[in-house]
Structure 1
Amino acid sequence: MAEKIRPLSVEPGVWDYLPPITIKVLMVGDSNVGKTATMRQFCDKLFVSSTMLTLGIDFKIKTIELKGKKIKLQIWDTAGQERFHTITTSYYRGAMGIMLVYDITNAKSFDNIAKWLRNIDEHASEDVEKMLLGNKCDMADRRMVSKERGEQIAKDHNIRFLETSAKANIHIDKAFYDLAEAILDKMPSKTNDEGGVVVRPTDQKQQSGSRCC
């Protein structure tokens, strides 16, 4: 049987017991663009219709393996309705990644991405990693926003971009893995005497206003 390869910085038998690295991801965008459906497809491999509105905040956890490390993704799905705006802004605090979602069949949801970007600038940390998702790309016959427009606004703001479909499960896993990898690459690390690199898990204390542990 092949010997299990472990990082030089961790003694054999210890790596499996290290706590996962916690990454908080926030999903923002207008109502009915598919934020909940995107989260549920990634976490549960289940499609739920975007007509089921999120009231306030929904929350899920999924642990993944990335670059040989355990990553615990805390995914916060925010309501897009204006009346919940004051509730959801507090959840920007502590977010390490933010997914901005619009519906390619709804031009207004794309136009409002500028508003969501302003909210992020106002409430989130300066180094938060952002990704833009043009959802419902399986509905090409009803497209109102070209892929090129999505690519352009992402380029203008220097953020990643993907077209996705929660219903057809197109690029859903890629979106979360790519965002998590970008966040992981920005995390502080230290080198031990043996030359191995240890990634320092983020502070897992409760953020102010957060419901999770």
Structure 2
Amino acid sequence: MSELNGMYQTPDLNRKSFARTNSQTILQRVSLLRELVPSVNTIAEICCGDCTRQFQAYSKYLNVQTYRGLDIEASIVAANRKQGIACYCGDALDKGLLRNFIEDDAIFFGPPLSVACDGHQIRQFNEVQPRYHDFARLLLAELKYTGMFICICPNTTTMGDVARLHHQVRHCRTDFNLPVIHYSYSTVTGNDEPTELRLKYVELWFSDKHDDLWEVRESKPHTIST
């Protein structure tokens, strides 16, 4: 593990064990994007890590024309670029860099959720860096983003955490609502190793085009039609 500016964490690439988003969760996101952003054409992922699977799934199942990422680890960015992914290198809170994404239909914000980025020692919501409310303030209040804004949160996230972030988002933009709170379960790791059924992520789907329903969804492993 390395640390940047005393707070950001990047994976120890020599271990080859850093967390990647599992394939089941990605298919669940495909289904939600189909429902909530039916005309989605451009998707961005901030703190993207190895996002090859997302790029492939969104291109195949949603016919997304543009998928782009941003990560602070140069070697990960280089690996993504080798896969044909448009990937920027830098800080998620760099306003100049983030400006490149404000025209995208959906933006996923998924900062490192575990110590050493290994997917094992999961952080509490308020320990995650960069902080969700800092990113929301930059994206919504300063850059005036419109679209679907998805915060990928640790499985330790409580409804109190959700309520606080909702309040902070509404303080930035009163037109942004929380239509869906998504609990993503899976039976595989990011490296395709089988596990018992586990809650992997709590995802907060914010939008300026949906009502403030706070509808709780639980997704278990499934397949989707092509």
TM-score by structure 2 length? 0.40
TM-score by structure 1 length? 0.42
| RCO comparison, higher one (Cα < 8 Å, 6+) | 1
